[in-house]
Every structure is written in C-alpha cells, then in structure tokens.
Structure 1
Amino acid sequence: METKQADSQKKLLDGVRPSRIVYPIIIGFAAVVYLLIKEVDGNTLSLIDFSWYSLFWICIALVMMLIRDLGYMARLRILTDQTFSWRQAFRIIMLWEFTSAITPSAIGGTSVAILYLNKEGLKVGRSSAVVMSTSFLDELYFILMFPLLILFLDIHQLFMITSPEHSLWLDSLLYFALGGYLVKMVYFIVLTYGLFWNPRGLKWLLLWIFKLPVLRKWKHGANKAGSDIIESSKELRRKPFLFWMKAFMATFWSWTARYWVVNVILLAFMFQGYSITEHIMIFARQLVMWIMMLVSPTPGGSGFSEWVFTKYLGEFLPSAGVAASMALLWRLISYYPYLFIGVYILPRWIKKHFRN
C-alpha cells in the first residue's frame, strides 16, 4: 500500500519538475517577440514615457502581488485553523503557484496541492478539505463579482460588441463568457451540494459519469476523489459562519489585488486620463480574460494570455505595439516570478520530504 502511494506521489511530482519552466518561458517570450516584431514601429517608444512616477506605480504593482500572496497565505492559515506558520504557508503557496504556472490553466495546481499540504503535516482527508475549500471560495468570488460588474457597466462596451474593428472572436465573446460563467456556476453548485449537503450523492454521480467508456480508465481516481469529498464534508460542515467570512475576505483581497495589477501598470505610464469607470471596465475585462485563459492548453496560459491582453485591453492603450509591451510587463510582474521562486523552493522541498 505504501509503495503504491509512493508511486502515485512520484507521478505527481514528475509533472511539476523544475525543468518544465522552460516551456512556458519559451512560449510566452515567443508570443511577445512575435507581437513586438509585428506591432512595434518607430513611434512606439516615443509613446512610452518612463519616469520616477512610472517606477513608483510599478512598485505599487509589485505590492499588489504581495497583497495577493499574503491573502492566499492568510486564507490557508484560516482554513487550517492556524496549523501552518506563515513560513509554511508561504512555501505551500509558492509551490502551488509554481505548479499552476507550469501546467495548463484548466488543470492548475490543485491536483498536487493536496500532496503539498499533506507533506507539511495535514492528514490526507483534511488536505482534501482545504483544497476543495479554496476552490469553493475562488468560484464564489467569480460568481458574485461577474454579475455585479455587468450590472454596473455597459455590457456592449465590456464585450466590445460595438467595436468598429470587431472580429469574429469579439462577436462571440459575450456567448463565450456567459458559457464559461454557466460552467463555473454548475461546478460551484455541484461542489457546494457535495461538500455541505450530500457528499455520498456526489460520489455516486462521479462514479456514474466515469463509467462512460471514454472516462472509464480514470474511474479509480474518481472513486478516490469521491471518498475525499466525503471526508472533506465532515470537516467543513462543522465550521461557523465567521470562519467562512474570514476565509472569503482573504480570497476577495487576493483576487482583487491580482486584477488591479493591470490597472496600476497602466497608471504607471498614464497613456490617457483613465476615469473611475474605465478602471472598473479594465478590471471587469480581466475577469472575462480569466475565462478565456482557463481554456488555454499552454502552461500557465503562456502565449495565449499575452495575445488576449493585446486584443482585449488594447483599446485603453495608444497603439498595438504599446499593448504588446505592457503585456510583457504584466507577465513579468504577475507570472514569471513564481517560476523562478518555485525552481528555488521545489528541489529543497522534495529533498526534505522525500529523503530516499
């Protein structure tokens, strides 16, 4: 049994080996170089005025990322009843983000997160409960924020329906976003129902789905996931409302800080006098971008994210060349640091927890 578990853990770690950072870096930089060569001309550099003012706001963008990570660390400590120290929480979050950065966005880092939590001292059942709780809170943030933003913003402008230079993908963007939101809503409802009301019913549904010929080879994994859900439910249903409120507030600040990074980067160069409504619009479009990034097959959305940035937020920048430059700066601040931090931490973490 122990040998089988060790083999399973080894397979998980093989998927997040440090050498895999090469792929997202190559893909991301190749996309940016292509966009820069295609879009940058002699006037592009003259449109970017770098000053001490710019440096100040870039530092604020870095502070936003710090707030994001502190929020995730605080949430992890809340969900584990302060079991982890701040240092442990930092290590786990950095490993989690590293895993997300080197795997396709639809997969993310949650599949390995249970292992990280378990090796840091939590039992497997409780580790599953914590990981599923983070998923529940993340989806709750999106499900609440997206309709609120649509309610207060011009939906035509949000989805660029009236754009004079619209293309096919922009025309269908509204339906794509609504479809993605519907998928998230269904997932959230099923997860909530399974975690808080009927975990055995959710396990039965999983096993029924994985009887299909296409999915049958993953039936064992589905059975284990169902068992984890049952264990998680026992842990979570005992938690008071205040516990969930504190965890959600930490989630709220993490995601909000993450999205404000782009707003702050644009402030650094003040390409135009952005109004409060425009800042909210930029923020809202990032939620839509997140739906699109979820279907990206590349590690961490590399390449695809940069392209979407130039197309969807380019309206707020003076030229396509400037948009490509800002996309690179955005990824340098919000994505690439996790690759290099993970490469530093992961080998030491493996050496500590897998001595043989």
Structure 2
Amino acid sequence: MKKWHLWLAASIGLVVIAGMMIREFDIAALSKIHLSSQFFLGVGIAVLLFAIQNLMYTLRFRYLSQRKLSLSQSFRINVLCEFTSAVTPSAVGGSGLAFVYLNREGMTMGRSIFTMFAALLADEAFLAISCCVLYLCVPSDQLFCTASDTGATVSSEWLKGGIHVVFLISTLIVTAWTAILYVLLLHRPQLLGWVLKACCKIPGLRRFQPKIERFSNDMTLASQEAKLEGSRFWLRLMGYTSVAWLARFAIVAAILFAFQCQGDMLIAWCRQWVMWMISVLSPTPGGSGVSELMFRLYYADYLPDASVAILAAMLWRAIFYYPFLVMGTVVLPKWIGKRL
C-alpha cells in the first residue's frame, strides 16, 4: 500500500465529516444567536476544557508507560484511541486497540496490555463511582427531568422513566465490568482464560483455542506489571482520569453559558453523566445521533427553542467529537505509513 492511498482515504473521511455537519446545520437559527463577548468566552472555555481533557489523557499514557513514551507519542496514542472510539459503537470504545498502538510505539507487549487494562479500569471505576454518588446526591426529578415534563403527559413520564431505567442498567453494567477488570488485573488473571478455554471445548469453537492461549498469557503479563505498582501509582492514575472526565463533562456547561442560558449549571453538568451512560448502549459510532437527540431533549429547558437547541448540540459535538475524527484521519495514515 502506498502512502497516497492512505491520504486519499483520509481526504474522503474529511469530506464525509464536512457533509455530516452541513446536512445538520440550521441556517435559520443563526439569527437567534447573540454573538456577544459571553458567547465567545463560553466557546473559548469549552475549547480549553477539551484541551485539558486531552492533556490529562496524554499525561496518563506517558505516566502508564513509565515515561518511556514522549509527549508527542502519548498524544498520538490518545488521538488514535479517541478516533477509534469515535468510529465504533460506544460499547466497543477505543481502549481495545490501545495495546496495539502502544506496542507499535516500542513498548513491550506486557506493558502495553497492562496500560490498556489499567486505563480501562480507571475509566470504568470513575464512571461507576461517580454515577453511584450522583444518583444518591442529586434529586431524580432534576437529574432525569426533560423539557416535556412541564406538560405532564403520559409519553413524557414514560420517557423520563425510560431514561431513569437505562441509566441504572448502564451503571450496574459498568460497575460489574469494573469489578471484573479489578479481579482479572490484580488478582486472578487466569480466571477468564479458564472460562474461555472451557468454552473452546464446544464443537465449532475449538479453532479459537490458540487465540485464547495468547490472551491468557497476555493477561498474566499484564497482571505481573500491575502487581509491581503501589497505591500511590493508582491514586495518581485516578487523578489524571478524574480530571479528564470532569473536563469532558463540563464542556456542555460552557456551551450553555455561551448561549446565555438560564438555569442551574451544576445540574446541567450532572446530566452529562446520564447522557454518557445512555450513549454507552448506543449501537451507532461514538453515540452519534443518540447524543444529539439526548442533548436537544435534555437541555431544551435551558435553551429558548428547538432550533437553538439543535445549533447548541452541533457546537457541542463540534468541540468534543468532530476534532477526533479530523485528527484521526490525519494522524492514522501517517502512523500506518511509517510502519508499512
């Protein structure tokens, strides 16, 4: 494969991204936006929060690599992981290929797999803990409120109840997954291997035996790396992870501030957890479509009308989602080209 083939693919990707934005753009809503200093300040804060989020993830990869990766390498891996998340269903995410990216950057397979599982464990632990705290501390009528609740219709009650149930199911799934990752990484790395090997005894699944053997060995290597780290290591890892997620979720508050919205910005920030946990179950790449719909529904009580809500949703996605598509289509061909 020649490099120009990769750049051609990247160019096509950028054209598709532009087409998506143009298709969903509502020109009539522009007249309702006040291009005041507050608008530009809010957008500037949102961009700054996006930068903080990616800085924390970059530092996290560098920290997990024991500083063997440079900042540019760590940033590149972060972009590749986020790009993978943006083009795959939310449940798949980009962490699954992190060890490939890390190994290609020169890290040992054991450390690469450990870094992947440690980062995944930190992310899932943050979401599990913060969602439980949020559910206990924030009144449900504010956390799961929708703009249509003011009409008190049967459909809105079903919708509100549905959001509530999906949030609880997602939180339970993430909590269970966190516990499994913890046990596999720090205590019983061979446990999953035993289960999968038992499944391979079923006729038709025996051909997966070699891959299961490699996976079991990889988990053992990752566990050995994990046991070398102390509590200080894990606390610092959770620090990077927490700041990254808090900055990611705070972007929406900056967008609402830019549109001069009235309402409790702390509640608006808390609703981001609900939106994220719902998008986890979305089958679309990066939660596309579901996230925009949830934004328009969930923050309609903060915005004056539906057209402005659509524009705010597009600006929100343009700041924290589309940049990864653009950066990924630029970085990925160059990254693959250097290794062909």
- Is the pair's TM-score, using the shorter chain for normalization, greater than 0.5? yes
Deviations 1:202-235, CA, capped at 9 Å, x for gaps:
3213444566789777665444333322110000
- Aligned residues of 1:24 and 1:300 also touching (Cα < 8 A): no
Matched residue SS, 1:295: coil
Q: Out of 16, 24, 30, which is 1:32 matched to?
A: 24
The residue correspondences of 1:90-169 to structure 2 (distance < 5 A) are: 90-160=75-145, 163=149, 164-165=152-153, 166=156, 168-169=158-159
Matched, 1:52 2:34: no
Matched residue SS, 1:298: coil
Matched, 1:352 2:338: yes
- Aligned residues of 1:28 and 1:302 also touching (Cα < 8 A): no
Whole-angstrom distance in 2 between the partners of 1:207 and 1:18 = 40
CA gap of 1:331–1:214, structure 2 versus 1, over 3 A, is: farther
> Residue 66 of structure 1 corresponds to which residue in structure 2?
51
Matched, 1:174 2:160: no
TM-score (norm 2): 0.88
TM-score (norm 1): 0.84
Matched, 1:309 2:295: yes
Q: Out of 171, 178, 182, which is 1:192 matched to?
A: 182
- Aligned residues of 1:28 and 1:306 also touching (Cα < 8 A): no
Q: Out of 254, 261, 264, which is 2:251 matched to?
A: 261
Whole-angstrom distance in 1 between the partners of 2:184 and 2:337 = 36
> Residue 251 of structure 1 corresponds to which residue in structure 2?
241
Whole-angstrom distance in 2 between the partners of 1:217 and 1:58 = 53
Q: What is the one-letter code of the residue matched to 2:17? A: I
CA gap of 1:208–1:312, structure 2 versus 1, over 3 A, is: farther
Matched residue SS, 2:247: helix
> Residue 281 of structure 1 corresponds to which residue in structure 2?
267
CA gap of 1:150–1:196, structure 2 versus 1, over 3 A, is: same
Percent identity over paired residues: 34
Deviations 1:151-170, CA, capped at 9 Å, x for gaps:
22111221228922515333
- Aligned residues of 2:128 and 2:174 also touching (Cα < 8 A): yes
- Aligned residues of 1:27 and 1:303 also touching (Cα < 8 A): no
Indicate the larger mover: 106-115 or 79-88. Answer: 106-115
> Residue 225 of structure 2 corresponds to which residue in structure 1?
235
> Residue 317 of structure 2 corresponds to which residue in structure 1?
331
Tell me the number of residue pairs that the alignment of Structure 1 and Structure 2 aligns.
328
Deviations 1:131-162, CA, capped at 9 Å, x for gaps:
00010000111111112222221112212289
Q: What is the one-letter code of the residue matched to 1:119? A: R
Q: Out of 187, 203, 206, which is 2:193 matched to?
A: 203
- Aligned residues of 1:31 and 1:307 also touching (Cα < 8 A): no
Whole-angstrom distance in 2 between the partners of 1:207 and 1:169 = 43
- Aligned residues of 2:189 and 2:219 also touching (Cα < 8 A): yes
Structure 1 position 289, deviation (Å) = 0.9
Whole-angstrom distance in 2 between the partners of 1:316 and 1:223 = 53
Whole-angstrom distance in 2 between the partners of 1:119 and 1:158 = 43
CA gap of 1:185–1:48, structure 2 versus 1, over 3 A, is: same
Whole-angstrom distance in 2 between the partners of 1:252 and 1:26 = 32
Q: What is the one-letter code of the residue matched to 1:25? A: I
